[in-house]
Structure 1
């Protein structure tokens, strides 16, 4: 892959929007779940399985799909991914049983992983060397912006079209997004498919020390961030008798502010920011905010302000990690497998976070101060692993920045 003299900003914007559209498929379910449960007549446990299916796919298959992308080519993998999102959406829109919804979410999860393990490499291919940190910072906003977009639009979509109409809407829009992103990717200097056995590429990625640390940091970060986003509405309504619509709006804003945090992280990288200090700074601020959110005493407005700072400061971490993937890759053909490991770590953190914090709060008799235990433990893991990552030599022999 040759270096570009100028960044293809249109391609960067289209690919970031494509990632946000993939995240919209993730975010469409939580606000619609009460309607789906009533329509299909299934309980909370089954609803939990439907919710967790996306993370289960990412947690188990992301690195394999990354290896497959390196072997077969990123254009094919992105096209396959969007086809899965459309197919899964149609199955969901026509579902009449929980089994059909589970199948729908599994297929959509495969599509989400297939697209998002490929696009970070294409973003690098679209950028000039001096802009790569900023470009990956822009890419980092795809998940919070897609989730927030869906959370804010969901009440209107569900009121106007119902949950099935919302599923149809995203399934119909997705092919147009796929065409736009594939059109931009064809103009980039992407490597030819390697033809190497994808299991070998995946195993090489799993054995790479830098990738292991990236996955660990993202796992611990996602544990904190996604857990707070998941439980914030419940925390506000149970502890402060906040109106549910107010709590939902606050949560959407807290999710959304992570996006400018990621952009700020990309700007810091462009200005020479180092991986280790960025991760440690971000997680230290998150830890202090966590204390203020859950300790007894502060008024609700201060807790909301701290949640906003928590989410913004967390935005320092994803750009630092995405930037590290190409540096630690044993070769260019391992980059998508490395992104798969990053996603696998993120999915693991999301999968275990909400249940662990819920268990801690339950053991504490419903007192939310008990959430501090697991949250602060994973803050510490993020900081320690981030420090080690900053000191880890890249294949060239020098640390990536500690």
Structure 2
């Protein structure tokens, strides 16, 4: 079943697009706030490394198990409604975590935050599409794809200063307040945003089956997983790698890592520009996977000067940013119907979280097996690059297909419509 067409909105409502992006960035802050705060949390609550690991991995476990189901719920409940509930869940989780006095309460708070994060990340792209005009949809989705690296970079750069003044509980409360303000802003900006279609026909289980039956959507999830495996593994271990390989201080390594994460953001914009010029994921994926693989080889071997190796990791992150932009733009073209939009995004997020969950421990195991040599990281990283390239090539969306389907995949109009976002 192809995506049905309908009259698109006449002019892009960029204020809506940017407000939804802001909501996504606030959600990403809840993921990025934990690593810099973890030492303080461990001391305050007396947590061991295993307990601390659960606090960190909760988001990924929820994402890789519930991403698609979250999308199915969003398609039936209403995407706007689920985004707002997600931001409120992030608020509640943050407040509970700040007030809690032990591991169990903190873990429950992270579950609430993880559910909220999934709701926002899965249900927001259809709102972006509903606010975008025919010719701007690829650009609007490229903007949306910035939410994760932009939010993570902001958290990494601001958290050390915030922790010094507020402590980890104060940081939790501050970000919870931001989530509440984000819910109010997104709710107001999208109050009259309507789509030209209602929820998909049939039960939620039918929608789940129809989405799982889309082979190319599954391939998109694999692409996102392979890319996320590489990117997050390098970002997680870069603060450890830079002091060991280049002799920089821990503080300098943290700031340099934040810079590398931020380099992913212009890559998202570049991906939108490439899509506008007729590129597809079948062209972008293999090319970018090859660039990331070459950069990884230069980074994890000690042949090149340190300044060149750091330049390569910047290119690694920047080039990689084109892939999420291409994936978010391609997913609407492969949805079973316009009513399956959030479910399709859920497939993407499930793949992404699976890659994020697997990447850091497998890279750590490979380095350990290589007697601590960072060149050992190349085995899993290059393997993930190969998976990314192959899966993207197998998607094979033609330019004409992409342009037509992105234009038609989430038809929207301002004001009244036959179905509301809810």
TM-score (norm 1): 0.96
Question: Residue deviations 1:325-349, cap 9 Å, x none?
Answer: 1100111111100100100000000
Instruction: Please identify, of 121-130 and 193-202, the stretch whose mean Cα deviation from structure 2 is larger.
Output: 193-202
Structure 1 counterpart of 2:83: 78
RMSD value, Cα = 1.8
Contact 1:72 / 1:195 at 8 angstroms: preserved in 2?
Answer: no
| 2:376 alignment counterpart | 370
How many angstroms does 1:85 deviate by? Answer: 0.3
Change (3 A) 1:395 1:241: closer
| Offset from partner CA, 1:141-198 (integer Å, 9 cap, x none) | 0000000011111111101100000000011121111111122222222244447422
Q: Is the Cα contact below 8 Å between 1:391 and 1:399 reproduced in 2?
A: no
Partners of 1:291 and 1:6 in 2: CA distance: 45
Which residue does 2:305 correspond to in 1? Answer: 299
* Structure 1 residues 332 and 399: CA distance shift in structure 2, 3 A: closer
1:99 CA drift (Å): 1.4
Aligned length: 399
Aligned to 1:158: 163
SS of alignment partner, residue 189 of structure 1 = strand
Structure 2 counterpart of 1:275, from 265, 281, 302: 281
Contact 1:71/1:196 (CA < 8 Å) preserved in 2?
no
Describe the SS at the equivalent of 1:154. helix
Alignment of 1:245-394 (within 5 A): 245-391=251-397
Q: In the aligned structure 1, how far is the partner of 2:188 from the partner of 2:161?
A: 31
Runs of 4+ in 1 over 6 A off after TM superposition: 392-396
Query: Within 2, Cα distance between the matches of 1:189 and 1:80?
Result: 18
Q: Distance in 2 between matches of 1:395 and 1:283?
A: 23
1:8 pairs, out of 6, 13, 31, with 13
State the match for 2:182 in structure 1.
Answer: 177
Q: Tell me, what secondary structure is at the counterpart of 2:74?
A: helix
Compared with structure 1, are the counterparts of its residues 181 and 313 closer, same or farther at alpha carbon in structure 2 (3 Å cutoff)? Answer: same
Aligned-partner Cα distance in 1 for 2:203–2:161? 47
1:167 aligns with 2:172: yes
Larger relative contact order (C-alpha < 8 A, sep ≥ 6)? 2
- 2:193 aligned counterpart, secondary structure: coil
Q: Which runs of 5+ in 1 are unaligned?
A: none
CA distance in 1, matches of 2:152, 2:67: 20
Indicate whether 1:132 and 2:132 are aligned: no
Pairwise CA distance, 1:116: 1.1
Give the deviation of 1:305 after TM superposition: 0.6
1:242 and 2:239 aligned: no
Question: 3-state SS of the aligned residue for 2:396?
Answer: helix
Alpha-carbon distance, 1:69 to partner: 0.5
